Amino acid sequence: MSCYITSGQALGCSDGIGGLYKLYIVGGGGAITGYTYDADGAITGGTASTGTTIYGFELKRNTSSLTQNIQKNFENGTIYFDQEVLAVFFKYDQQKRNELKVLSQNDKLQIIVVDQNQVQYLVGQVNGCYLASGAATTGVQFSDRNGFSLTFKGQEHEPANVIDGDLSTVFGIPVVG
């Protein structure tokens, strides 16, 4: 693999927006592996173990984010990408509490985030993600948030790949929510 770029980038239009639209977590006791890619490196297929299901979580705009920080050690010649998903869920209830408990025990989560531009990213593709921190709060005033703020973290050799296509078609598994 060459370490030299082969093209530049035009400035383009100012038409992108920030934030996350939706979050999906791979569950049902399985994982997605055996990926196929298009010529640009976007994921176009994958194999899932029996029973694997993708569960969707709706997000309110202006609350959640995906950040990928490059971690490079020049002297050691190493590089990796810290992936961090901040997800905010509203209204503390027993069902969310139970899901949070299970999520906190899994250190190999695969998370698909959909940004406000409808681009889908696979976080924790190889090494998985884990629930690193969070808070369940009731708020103080009527206008305060009642709900959860969760931070999922992962470390991967490459930045998150884009998924090209409908999730149930690309991975051949059920998508709930």
Mean pLDDT for back-to-back runs of 10 residues, the chain (177 residues) = 81 90 92 94 94 94 97 96 97 91 93 98 97 95 95 98 96 93
According to the model, what pLDDT value does residue 146 have?
95
Helix H or strand E encompassing 129: strand 129-137
The answer for 29, left when phi > 0, alpha when psi is -120 to 50, beta otherwise, is left
Q: How far is CA 9 from the centre of its chain?
A: 25
Q: 84 exposed, middle or buried (CB, 10 Å; 0-12, 13-18, 19+)?
A: middle
Q: What is the pLDDT of residue 1?
A: 64
β-strand partners of 154 = 83, 129
Tokens 């934030």 correspond to what residue? 19
pLDDT for 28 equals 81
φ, ψ for residue 156, nearest 5 deg: -130, 155
SS3 assignment, position 167: helix
What's the confidence (pLDDT) of residue 87? 97
pLDDT the model gives residue 14: 86
User: Residue 47 is inside which H or E element, if any?
Assistant: strand 43-48
